[in-house]
Structure 1
Amino acid sequence: MASSSPSPAVASPPEPPLTAPQPTRRGLPPPCWSHDETLALIESYRHKWHSLRCANLRAADWDEVAADLSRRSSLLPSATPKTSVQCRHKIEKLRKRFRSDRLRSLTLRPHTPPSSSWPFFPFMESLEQPPSASLSGSPSHSDDADDSRTIRRLVSNGEGLRFTVPKAVRSKKMNPSSGGGKLKGVFSDAGVKPAMEEMRRRLERKRKEEMEAGTAGGMVEALRMVGDGFMRIEQVKLDMARETERIRMEMELKRTEMIIDSQQRIVDAFVKSFVGGVKRKKGKVSPDS
């Protein structure tokens, strides 16, 4: 009986190594701050900071800033909700950029007011101004008036709100009962065009004043340098004149001394010759003659 040979064992494929599941990173993505959202944040922070008399904001205060920002940004179509932490980080970045640009401007142009091409520079500079008298009074203002003042301030400060209002909204008359009282007179042609014209005139006036101040400062500096140069030249001339006069006086004194010395020698020689002649005459005349 033939013995059956054992069948060869089939090698099983290697099992893939087990990898530990990667922990999902939690956290909010960096917020995308639009131009108008940043302006609204600066405005909300300014109101809260001035109401606290420029004191440090606490967590509850930042929550109020975020809530006020959400209320202001509700008019913007591309606005996204922001937390209090995001608002605080954004304000810290804005303050850091403002300090850097202000220091650079004062270093390059010490005789002119600080300025920068950064669009948020004038708005951050307004934070350094003392709180207005209106903040010290009673805060009992209506939401409609607050929204209208906020939007008008953003427009008149030189930047404006960069979003499009639908034609249906612009053409339809809004009444306070339908919620249109907040935007009445702000987005109409009669309200926007004068504000934009005033904004343009203010920007042109400010740019002209900065150019004139820079030109005047440069001219004053150039005149000061020229005046210093003339003063140094005149001082050198005076020093040379004094030195020349001193040398001339010394030479004149030496010449006078030489003349006196030579005249003294002539007189001495004349006296000696006269005395010697007299003695010789007396020696020739004998007493016996």
Structure 2
Amino acid sequence: MQAKYSSTRDMLDADGDTMMSLHSRASTATQRPEPGHTEPRRPSSAWRPVALILLTLCLVLLISLAALGLVFFQFYQLSNTQQENISQKEERLGNLSRQLQSLQTQKRKLAETLHHVAEKLCRELYNKTGEHRCSPCPEKWKWHGDKCYKFYEESKSWQGCEYFCIAENSTMLKINTQEVLEFAMPQSYSEFFYSYWTGLSRNGNGKAWLWMDGAPYSHELFEIIIDFTSLRSRDCVTILNGKAFSKDCRELRRCACERAAATVKLQRLREPL
């Protein structure tokens, strides 16, 4: 009976060992990876510092880029502000320039008006007294229009009068307008028959009459009376008693000179003669 019990126990133990062996093999088969798949390995601890350094560098780079972007944005805003300021200043400068031009134009017009008024007043004073300190002409010169005239008593040849007038910073008398004709001819009246050389001459008989500056003689203004009493060339013109005569240029006649009038002396308008 005991032997039978022992045999039965031994069989159970053998079966138990067999089951455990099978279970162990099954577990091993379950844990074994499938063909073509490898089990992932855990990251090595040596790469962790490198990754940390790279991450730090990335953060530094991002911060640097952000700072650079901020600086660029501030510079862009500053540039726009400066450009706006420059545009505003250019606009103001343009406005000031236009205002300055307008003021200069007004100043010029005012100066012209003042000059005309002063000239008119001075001319009235001059015509009343025959001479005034405001006159734009030198002393003893006659003021007419925009010219000053002087009829000298010295007698010279035509060329001598030319040089004489040049020495007086003037030129020989030129009668090219009706106004000058009406002014100059009365100066030629003399009880002693003193005539005055003019700047009118010609370069030989039959040539055109020309003034000193090359301007042509106008037949409508006055007639030149040819002096047939002289056997010499008659290529220079004198005025006597309101008439013009052609004379020999070597004859001695008085000199008549003219020059441009200066500016009316405003500060002397109130001064007595």
Q: Do these two structures clear the TM 0.5 threshold for a shared fold by scoring above it?
A: no
Higher relative contact order (CA 8 A, sep 6+): 2
TM-score of the two chains, using structure 2 as the length reference: 0.31
TM-score of the two chains, using structure 1 as the length reference: 0.30
